[in-house]
Structure 1
């Protein structure tokens, strides 16, 4: 579970509703002081939320980009059905991303963390000319196919538990098995985020993570600049898997020293710098 340093937006970051053709989504929106070089759309991972990017938003905006982080359907502050899993099929979530991209305007750079990376990939592959919809694609700690066997076991335990337990009961069980790491964030905020997730969303996306096929060859054919970013350790997708994926995609590759599965919260300054440098190269045409 990602653990953002705070759930309070910093000055210059607005909490708002992003209105799209597929409904409203909770968002954090950071705008640069002057004319924007472009827009970045950021998608969180499994059990996460837009707050996972909170430490990136001002640095990205200060570098000249509008940064919009969203809660997906059924995540935290974005509404979604609690029992029906069909609205959380990957193609449905990909269509949400395309609607979000249209709502922020222009041709945004797309970034997805973990599960968000696989949904971002599905959105790119859903349109016939992705280069007309997105300026680039960044996969942040998001691998080529299903998650590692050990993480599949954990995800399956979670989805099985959610079928019979309430969200509050499931939270208590998670804490008993996997106590939170030391953090400056009040654990009550993490619990509140968990309780506001849709259980159907977690069950459906948890199953997706365990069954995702390898679509790297398809993605490599999409004429978009691509960036694969990870920490130097990751037990969700081994680093070697992401190295190989980057080679197959002919993507720019960044490994963030000292980070694990969530470089955006583990080493936000270094992660922001790498992202901005990638987007600047595209903006300048170099």
Structure 2
């Protein structure tokens, strides 16, 4: 494996590979890697000639500076994991390699999908995400870039950013990788107390029950009420549960066979914010 720390060296190196007709897969991460990340990297390895993984904790997407400071950083272990599964290249930029001094996130208009759910509760978050993903895609210039559906709204943001900025890349959404208990894998899980870690599978269980209610003919409003009531009786503090269409991410009042719907949940286990979703 080769580790790059500067885009001035990475970009021409990758371009040479592409000039030889090789395909490049790319996985942008913030490190603290787990099996979910590795499943994306393995998919890239299978589908491309070479795979690049970036590790960069992006400051412009954190509206809570304490969250940025607490974000787990396990760079050495991450590189060992990526080496063990056969990743070819790691891009490990500094803030200065991606941002000029004093640079802030670009302001985007994504037609409203940036203002709902995560956008409502984390103002400016998606401007930071779109800004850094755009920078990383230009640095790597991959054929395909892989994103996990746990952050489904983020995937929609990236898809729209790529269209707006005319970046020639295929965005590949990948299914949520779950522990045997059903808990969606997340770097934040390592900060859960043993008690909360044991209780956390409740979140996916409620999502599955919500899906069963939908299949039984209940309306989005009825399903939403059930989920909110379930959380009220749980050890978790529900921030929101929304049922939306998958394209515009707008709340729906009825389930329709020709409109893909998804349920999104965010809940706190102590001070740890957990997210999950399910396709209906």
- TM-score bracket relative to the smaller structure: 0.3 to 0.5
Larger Rg, first or second structure (1 or 2):
2
TM-score, normalised to structure 2's length?
A: 0.37
